[in-house]
């Protein structure tokens, strides 16, 4: 069983959080480089960071800027910021009421398989939603968690995008809990035209307790990854 250091940053600026992630990420990589260079076996730490962001749009390294439907003036009017970042995936939105999770893990401590890692993250969210009576699933070829897959009513409830280097992960998932879905109207989410987004609040007809949802996420994460938080 691996130990994972849990941190909840509350509401925090996207760029500040990104810089913080990079610091943790690089710290793990530096230990791995040192271990290899000096033939040592220093243990690498693992982190799980929860955060909520003020309104922000982020574009992955393979993303298309045309999927952002606002110019700089309109972004300012909506009180939102925009960043082109170093994760996989296209464009997404983060904002208040959304649960963002950044697992910064050394996969050498778990399993060295990125595909499996993403499927495990999806499973954590699928199991969490099931506790609220929301039946969620994967959509083939589309990372993340969806409802009513394979129907005209398919809608995304959780986006995912990660970066890895030397088997160390950063970035993660964004679960729409009590999210203002209107902000998604300003983008083509994940670059996928004609697909809707939803939230736990929209599906249940009431707001959810964010701390309660986080507790359930952590329970399923620790079970699936066999970790101690």
Confirm if 137 and 98 have CB atoms less than 8 A apart. Answer: no
87 marked as part of a ligand binding site:
yes
**In the block, residue with structure tokens 């050394």:** 106
27 marked as part of a ligand binding site:
no
172 marked as part of a ligand binding site:
yes
28 marked as part of a ligand binding site:
no
Strands, DSSP E only, in the chain?
2-3, 5-11, 47-52, 56-59, 81-84, 91-94, 98-104, 136-139, 142-147, 155-165, 168-176, 196-197, 227-228
Query: From residue 120, how far is each of 15, 65, 136, 217, 225 by CA, in Å?
Result: 27, 29, 14, 12, 8
Q: Which has the closest alpha carbon to 57: 47, 46, 70, 48?
A: 70
10 marked as part of a ligand binding site:
no
88 marked as part of a ligand binding site:
yes
- CA distance linking residue 41 with residue 125, whole number of Å: 33
90 marked as part of a ligand binding site:
yes
94 marked as part of a ligand binding site:
yes
144 marked as part of a ligand binding site:
no
The CA R_g of the chain, rounded to the nearest whole Å, is 17
200 marked as part of a ligand binding site:
no
Residues with active-site annotation? 190
Binding site members for substrate: 87-94, 159-161, 172-174
Binding site members: 87-94, 159-161, 172-174
């Amino acid at each position: 069983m691996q130990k994972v250091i849990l941190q909840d940053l509350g509401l925090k600026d996207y760029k500040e959080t990104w810089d913080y992630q990079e610091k943790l990420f690089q710290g793990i990589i530096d230990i791995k480089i040192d271990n290899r260079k000096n033939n040592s076996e220093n243990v690498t730490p693992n982190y799980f960071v929860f955060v909520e962001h003020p309104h922000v749009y982020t574009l992955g390294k393979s993303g298309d800027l045309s999927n952002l439907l606002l110019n700089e003036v309109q972004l300012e009017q909506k009180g939102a910021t925009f960043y082109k970042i170093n994760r996989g995936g296209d464009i997404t939105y983060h904002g208040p009421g959304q649960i963002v999770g950044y697992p910064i893990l050394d996969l050498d401590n778990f399993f060295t398989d990125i595909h499996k890692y993403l499927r495990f993250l999806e499973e954590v969210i699928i199991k969490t939603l099931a506790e609220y009576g929301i039946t969620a699933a994967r959509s083939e070829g589309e990372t993340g968690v969806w409802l009513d897959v394979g129907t005209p009513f398919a809608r995304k409830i959780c986006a995912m995008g990660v970066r890895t280097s030397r088997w160390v992960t950063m970035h993660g998932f964004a679960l729409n809990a009590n999210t203002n879905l209107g902000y998604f109207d300003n983008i083509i989410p994940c670059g996928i035209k004609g697909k809707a987004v939803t939230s736990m609040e929209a599906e249940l007809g009431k707001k959810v307790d964010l701390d309660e949802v986080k507790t359930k996420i952590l329970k399923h994460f620790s079970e699936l990854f066999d970790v101690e938080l």
